[in-house]
Amino acid sequence: MRHAEDSAIEPRVVHARVPGRVRLAIDGIRRRGDEARRVEASARALPGVHAARARARTGALLVEFDPQRTSVSAIVSALRVGAPEREVARVVRVGPLRSLASALRARSLVDDTWEIDVVALGRALATGAPRAALPAAMPAAPQPAWHAISARDVLATLESSEHGLGDAEVSARRDRDGPNALRAEARRSELAIFVAQLRSGPVALLAGSALLSVATGGLADAGVIALVVAANAGIGWLTESRAERTLGELGRTGPRRARVVRGGAVVEVDAEALVVGDVLVLAAGTLLAADARVIAADSLYADESSLTGESLPVEKRATESEREDVPLADRRAMVFRGTVVTGGSGRAVVVAIGDATEIGRIRALAAEIGTHETPMQRELRELGTKLVWTASTVCAGVLGVSLLRGATVRQALTSSISLAVAAVPEGLPTVAITTLALGVRRMREHGVLVRQLHAVEALGSVQTLCLDKTGTITENRMSVEQLCVSGRCVRATDAMLDDADVHALLEALALNNEVELDRAPDGSLVLVGSPTEAALVRLALDRGVDVAALRAARPIERLRPRTEGRGTMATQHGGALLVVKGRPSEVLASCARRLHQGRDEALDEAARTALEHANAMLAGQGYRVLAVARRALAEGEETVERDLVHLGLVAMADPPREGLDALMSTFHRARIDTVMITGDQPATAHAIARRVGLAREGRVDLLDATRIDAMDPALLRALAPKVQVFARVSPSQKLAIVRALQEGGRIVAMTGDGVNDAPALRAADVGVAMGRTGSDAARELADVVLLDDRLETMAIAIEHGRAIHDDVAKAVRFVVATNASEIMLTAIGVASGLGEPLTPLQLLWLNVLTDVLPELALAIEPPERDVLGRPPRDPHAPMFGGRELGRVAIEGGVITASALASFLWARTRWGAGPRAGSLAFASLSASQLVHAVHARSTRHVIWDRDRLPPNRAVPLTIAGSLALQIAAERLPIVRRVLGTAPIGPAGWIVALGSAAATLIANETLKATWRRDERAHGE
């Protein structure tokens, strides 16, 4: 049979002059990403082809090949889909399709019917293509519906087993399928970056000016305009290519690892080394590196928000099979690459790797759309477009006025060209990307790794900072402080093993524990596990318990971990023993007896009340409290957490980090609300919050999260901004809290380091993970990683986030003001009949000398000292409102007035000649350069006692540019090109004096505006 839709796919040679390269146009792949990928894969499989790249957006295919092995005509013939030779065969089999399916990657699996391109197979075999080339020669087809096949049949189809694959088979499959890696996002080439500099509206306006110059006989002017455009493009290329390299490093957090079963043993391998058929070992914190079919699960939950948008963790089950049409979000028997296991344990067999995974397909579709602009880049692009249209309108107006005043067409066009050149903001397109990239680099030097570009802008707008307690507010250095047994509490260091109650409690802590005992090279004992679990085992060891022997005698046979909605961990051990540890209220509710002086006795109301009182007392002192219980099981009895024997309470301390009270004051001064979200009991959370100064005014408002599930969403939205502490919070409730704050209009940053923080980290406007102690899942899902684990670094990140936006605004404000001054000066001269103060070439010189270089210097302006003393930036407010644009226009008017005054003085003294224009040229240049000093801040003036942080780039740029300006005035060859004349020392005194007057006038205006804002409380 033949596919009808393929008939439109006919390759046409567009360019083949370069040996070994051919560019083809294929209408059938235009705007069809699946067809583009299929044709690309087919091209790569052809003999002699080194590389192929298809673009669905343009319908183009670029093929690189060995001319000694193949030819352009052979490639076109082989790719011509729809020719009579392409036949598709249907092969019907009974039972699972094994090695043939693996080799061919057949199109579909429906009632054991497989569709295979037999011609492509024959061609690959006839040319001696290696086995790895066979799948690439096939059409890119969807994966079989693995969730609709039983786990047993999936293993059989993939020729795997619960014992995993052998080393030889793993090697063969890796050779066939390649590494488990997503195709790297294609970054722009150096040539593409340079060409992009020539595609902007400002450059189009300059090109039009050059054409008009040619039409009016100004060939020299047109040539210089072209040179300036090339020079500006070169500067843009240099800065933007460096920015691209910096931004290309975003998101790199090091190699990932995966635990798999190979040859019956559990091993850890690089995630890229996974192959189809590998059996993954899943546990809380596992970040999935491939799509896999679940074959065993025990309370297994996964966060799939990155793939499906489902906010809550989803339970995964090793179901026999599901309906084939089950939506992706409802496939309980599947786990997917990029998602994270949040609870439980299980195993799954890999069914897809690399680009064949669900997330790989999504990335491929996104690649067809292209990269997204940040809000800042979009705003600047729109601003540049508006400036070009405004300038074009003004040019047309000046042209009309010139003609009405009796000027010739050539004179009128020359005036319009001058105005167009003056209006072009050449440096504007590179401001945002350059400033963002430089900001990312500076933040990394301070221990802040930015993984998502949008986070740089969002950091400057953060209004609420949600803090995870453990590892963020506290040091994540747990230690056991007190034990409560038989109605009495003792210091952990005073607990004696000969006390039967203490002995039973310590043994339970050692058994109900996943910490592994290991030996360091020097022979010392190393505890591998979470800080909490390690602290419990360390206590048992210190008090004399032989943990290794105890575990050997009573190994864990079954483990039920803490999960969403259950705050206890239960372990069943050899010898029919059940041990439970966790939240005191839940453990106590499951107990019917208690251990008292070595004997089990009934747990009456008085004993319950005493335990509740002890728990409240310890929690009120800031301790984290765990309860421990056990139960002997009869042979064959079902493991149920009821009728337990309460063994006692364990009080643990995780000390707050030093200096947090001062840090909280810093956040509060920056108008950022600080909120603690923790799973601890209310009393514990409240005590820690007061100790670190979490609330602005001393009063800590707390909400017990156990009420959130039954709370009306509107009520939660209303309460969330008023609460400083959320206690007893589950992962889904963390997410609900973040969403409630966002729905209330807050920009939220969320810090975390554990697996349970992953959903909230992804949902927050800025997700922040700890670099050292944080889990892999938290780091991979976060937008920002604090490499040194210090919360103080978060203040630095917010400071730089605000400063980066300020730097962009300063650079843009400078460019708009200086370009406005050039427009005003030219328009006033033409409209008033004074003539053109400046020639087009002089204006081009100014735009390169006084726009681009000072703009780049302002882009690396360090944060102002009071940047954390201001409120967060409104993310919805434009960079420049009407009032701001009015002020920028006034600043440009002051520069214009200064240059115009110099021009008129020169005409009075020297007459209407080149010297007058040259003085206006020098005066405007100097005034624009010193305006960079004014643009360093919109709040501080040069005579303030509180000086701005030094930025050596600004004075160096001013001095260097002034030196070039003076050299241009002194060198005859440059004077001839620019059309200037010597102005002498007197002229330079006037020019520099006018520049100083401009700076003082604009600084005075700034001080006046600042005083008015303070008077109105802005």
Percent of the chain with pLDDT over 90: 22
What is the chain's mean pLDDT, rounded? Answer: 79
Q: What is the pLDDT of residue 310?
A: 59
In the predicted structure, residue 629 carries a pLDDT above the cut 80: yes
In the predicted structure, residue 349 carries a pLDDT above the cut 60: yes
Residue 60: strand, helix, or coil: strand
Model pLDDT for residues 903-927, shown as the tens digit of each residue: 999 988 888 788 888 999 999 999 9
657-677 as b/e, with b when 16 or more CB fall inside 10 Å? beebeebbebbbebebbbbbb
Q: How far apart are CA 906 and CA 917, in angstroms?
A: 8
Model pLDDT for residues 276-289, shown as the tens digit of each residue: 999 999 988 788 88
Q: What is the pLDDT of residue 856?
A: 81
Task: Summarize the confidence of residues 703-724 as an average pLDDT.
Answer: 86
**Which range has highest mean pLDDT (423-432, 489-498, 501-510, 737-746)?**
501-510
Q: How far apart are CA 997 and CA 927, in angstroms?
A: 9
Model pLDDT for residues 632-671, shown as the tens digit of each residue: 988 777 777 889 999 999 999 888 888 888 999 999 999 9
pTM recorded for the entire structure: 0.66
Q: How far apart are CA 651 and CA 619, in angstroms?
A: 8
Q: How far apart are CA 676 and CA 724, in angstroms?
A: 6
Q: What is the pLDDT of residue 88?
A: 36
Strands 525-528 and 516-519: antiparallel
Residue 801: strand, helix, or coil: helix
Q: Which of 48-57, 249-258, 487-496 has the lowest mean pLDDT?
A: 249-258
In the predicted structure, residue 96 carries a pLDDT above the cut 90: no
pLDDT, greater one: 309 or 558: 558
Three-state secondary structure along 849-905?
HHHHHHHHHHCCCCCCCCHHHCCCCCCCCCCCCHHHHHHHHHHHHHHHHHHHHHHHH
Q: Which of 9-13, 123-127, 872-876, 953-957 has the lowest mean pLDDT?
A: 123-127
In the predicted structure, residue 771 carries a pLDDT above the cut 90: no
Task: Summarize the confidence of residues 326-350 as an average pLDDT.
Answer: 86
The alpha carbon torsion through 472, 473, 475, 480 (nearest 10 deg) reads -120
- Which residues are annotated as catalytic? 468
Task: Summarize the confidence of residues 35-57 as an average pLDDT.
Answer: 80
Model pLDDT for residues 442-452, shown as the tens digit of each residue: 888 888 888 77
What phi and psi values does residue 739 have, to the nearest 5 degrees? Answer: -65, -40
* Cβ-contact 763, 311 below 8 angstroms: yes
Q: How far apart are CA 371 and CA 170, in angstroms?
A: 36
Q: What is the pLDDT of residue 462?
A: 92
Q: Which of 571-575, 616-620, 899-903 has the lowest mean pLDDT?
A: 571-575
In the predicted structure, residue 505 carries a pLDDT above the cut 60: yes
Model pLDDT for residues 197-213, shown as the tens digit of each residue: 666 555 665 666 666 66
Helix axes 201-215, 219-248, angle to 10 degrees: 160
Phi-psi region of 235 (alpha: psi -120 to 50; beta: other; left: phi over 0): alpha
Close Cβ partners of 747 (under 8 Å, ≥ 6 residues apart): 458, 461, 462, 463, 464, 765, 766, 872, 875
